[in-house]
Chain A
């Protein structure tokens, strides 16, 4: 069955510190992977996506993610966090011909000054 696991419900980092948000997926075929961010009171915004090719994907706002097939992971990283990055982050998986996404339960990021 398809599923996405985000093991960390809450993460707190200091401003300027590096960030890594974990995502593990279960998918029966070649996965298409996504990271979205949801700021308070806002809808979801796509940060980056992976379909094929280079396993290190660059996104907006300085984020990147690395696809590791052997570990069924697609972790999101940022070298230096800004206070404006405080939000909830969702990992999602889908397939090429399906119009459904399976979302993880989200990770809330808190940034300390």
Chain B
């Protein structure tokens, strides 16, 4: 158990809908990262927040957005969902502001299925 929690574990929705994925980082961690893992794209970094502010952006679509709240939990919002958005979405957290020396701890993921 990494100490990172994600809810829900599974989510099934329809195309065109909007969903929110939630992540609670490990106690004391200030950074939250979001990743998408799909069969065709593999594991991709989406976005990082550090202490409430966006720190780094990866291959995140404009239909997706995220935020980190004062209590440091984070939400990833996915809108206008398409079939291709079906994937496993991971959250990770780290103590510092990022960088390769800042070890990331991964949550168990949320499996999103878009029908």
Could you list which residues of chain A lie within 8 angstroms of chain B, going by C-beta atoms?
32, 34, 36, 41-46, 49, 51, 90, 94-101, 103-106
Contacts and interface: CB of A to CB of B under 8 A. Distances in A.
Contact of A32 (B43, B100, B107): B100
A105 B42 contact: yes
Interface of B: 2, 4, 31, 33, 42-45, 48, 55-56, 58, 90, 92, 97-101, 103-109
A1 to B, nearest CB: 13
7 contacts: A34-B100, A43-B90, A45-B106, A49-B100, A99-B97, A101-B100, A103-B44
Contact of B108 (A32, A41, A90): A41
Contacts, number: 60
B43 A99 contact: no
Given A99-B98, A100-B45, A103-B43, A43 B103 contact: no
